Chain A
Amino acid sequence: MASSQMVAPELAAIEVHGTTREAFLIRATLAAGATYGALSATPYITKALAKGGGFDNDLAVVNYALTLEHLEFTFYSMAVKLVKGLSADEMKLVKQIREDEKQHVEALIATAKKLGTPVKKPTFDFGGAFADRATFLKTANTLEDTGVSAYNGAGPFIESVDILGAAGSIVQIEARHASLIRLTRGKPPAPQAFDKGVEMAKILKAVTPFIKG
């Protein structure tokens, strides 16, 4: 697999059989740190050991997805008004993506209401992301790729087959968005053979700069 290139070989050789739960968790986290950057490993171990890092239930997954969709919808809504220099086709694409994200938000709110209470829409600050075409498309590229990783990471935790199906129907569109945004940037639409899932803590950390509260 492509991901094998990213992990430290000595960590790949770890024999996990028979280790204690804590020891294994630390190793796992270190391996994740090796994959995603060693800097993040230490605080994450502390945090992961202190409290649960996963999802309590499907509502938690849905609200997590809803947070990301709120972010994307707000991002594209602002982009349509603020970004200068997009071609007519690019603007059409951005408007279509904005519409998709809007529908994702609405669908997830409806699903969250069936399970409990939808998470409130955060306040966002995208800084200089709309300054010009290139900066905007690069940020969009990152957000879409991140969205795919987030859904793929959360998918296996979903208990309800219906909610898994709903999440799958959304992530497929996020992947298509990512592909098309990448094409506008002259980047490979599908750079890796596997869109590896990324766990919530890492995703939230990645989008934190955009969330004001």
Chain B
Amino acid sequence: MTDSALRELADDPSSRKRFFKMMGGAGAVSAFSVFLAACGSDGKKSASTSTPATSTDDGVKGDLHILNYALTLEYLETEFYKEVIASGLVKDAAVAKIATKFYSTEQEHVAALTATIKSLGGTPVKAPKTNFGPTLDMGLKHVLETAAIVENLGAAAYLGAAGGIKNKDVLAAALTIHSVEARHAAALNTLVGFGYGLKGGLKGSLPDGAFGKGMDEASVLKAVKPFLA
């Protein structure tokens, strides 16, 4: 694992410290411990392949760009759920429960990404100005379909961006969010009535069969443009 920044982290006290600050407290120690337990024990490898912390500096700018892109999407999702809940459109208790839970989850994603960006020395982007009014005006069915689309886009965005992330801890953090977006997407796809039917009927719930598809940043931003003011 010559380029494992995680291993580097395990060997380098200064980058370790930065990581803890970055991830912010107890959750970071817990998560990091799990990673270290899995990688740091391999003394032979790390001794022969440890690299200076500065080797990741080249990737920081790129990682910050990806993190701010992710933050923009999380802000968008958070604002949408907030407005959906406030609109009173959701009457069904089970649906309301899901909307509330997803809203709080997206808030946590915003907080985690903001903290990560700051700890890397970057400036978190501001929440984008959104325009969900027309969507809300079209009623609950359309609102839930839009939520499904946005969550599917979110999952595709993280998957598309993962390969470009240089810092392994940032990658680890992105992965923990990626699969949650996918869970949201599948639940909403089902909720909006695609159901479990095979082939066409399963459209969205398990999109494109057995493999998720990533989307590049330009395509994702184009897709969410109608929701931006």
Q: Mark A residues whose CB is within 8 Å of B.
A: 1-4, 6-7, 9, 11-12, 14, 16-18, 21, 24-25, 27-29, 31-32, 35, 44, 48-49, 51-57, 89-90, 92-93, 95-97, 99-104, 107, 148, 151-153, 155-157, 159, 161, 164-165, 168-180, 183, 188-190, 192-201
Q: Cβ of A96 and Cβ of B202 under 8 Å apart?
A: yes
* Chain B: minimal CB distance from A133 (Å): 15
Interface centre among A11, A97, A169, A189, by most chain B C-beta atoms within 10 angstroms, is A189
Q: Mark B residues whose CB is within 8 Å of A.
A: 1-4, 6, 11, 13, 16-17, 20, 23-45, 97-98, 101-102, 104-105, 108-109, 112, 155, 159, 162-163, 168-169, 171-173, 175-180, 182-187, 190, 195-198, 202, 205-206, 209-214
Complex-state Cα separation, A159 to B45, whole angstroms: 14
Complex-state Cα separation, A119 to B97, whole angstroms: 43
* Chain B: minimal CB distance from A144 (Å): 10
Contact of A170 among B4, B175, B211 (CB under 8 A): B211
Given A92-B197, A164-B162, A165-B163: A190 and B33 within 8 A (CB)? Answer: no
Contact of A168 among B13, B24, B178, B183 (CB under 8 A): B178
Q: Cβ of A28 and Cβ of B26 under 8 Å apart?
A: no
For residue A97, which residue of chain B has the nearest CB? Answer: B206
Contact of B37 among A29, A90, A175 (CB under 8 A): A29
Given A1-B27, A25-B36: A54 and B214 within 8 A (CB)? Answer: no
Contact of B38 among A31, A49, A174, A201 (CB under 8 A): A201
For residue A164, which residue of chain B has the nearest CB? Answer: B163
Given A4-B25, A17-B13, A169-B212: A12 and B30 within 8 A (CB)? Answer: yes
For residue A161, which residue of chain B has the nearest CB? Answer: B163
Given A53-B42, A172-B182, A179-B183: A194 and B108 within 8 A (CB)? Answer: yes
Complex-state Cα separation, A16 to B36, whole angstroms: 12
Complex-state Cα separation, A103 to B209, whole angstroms: 9
Complex-state Cα separation, A134 to B163, whole angstroms: 39
Interface centre among B25, B28, B37, B177, by most chain A C-beta atoms within 10 angstroms, is B37
Complex-state Cα separation, A2 to B210, whole angstroms: 29
A31 contact set on B, CB distance < 8 A: 29-30, 33
* Chain B: minimal CB distance from A88 (Å): 9
* Chain A: minimal CB distance from B119 (Å): 13
Q: Cβ of B30 and Cβ of A3 under 8 Å apart?
A: yes
Interface centre among B4, B25, B27, B213, by most chain A C-beta atoms within 10 angstroms, is B27
Complex-state Cα separation, A200 to B196, whole angstroms: 32
Q: Cβ of A199 and Cβ of B162 under 8 Å apart?
A: no
Given A16-B13, A179-B182: A93 and B163 within 8 A (CB)? Answer: no
Interface centre among B39, B178, B186, B213, by most chain A C-beta atoms within 10 angstroms, is B186
Q: Cβ of B105 and Cβ of A103 under 8 Å apart?
A: no
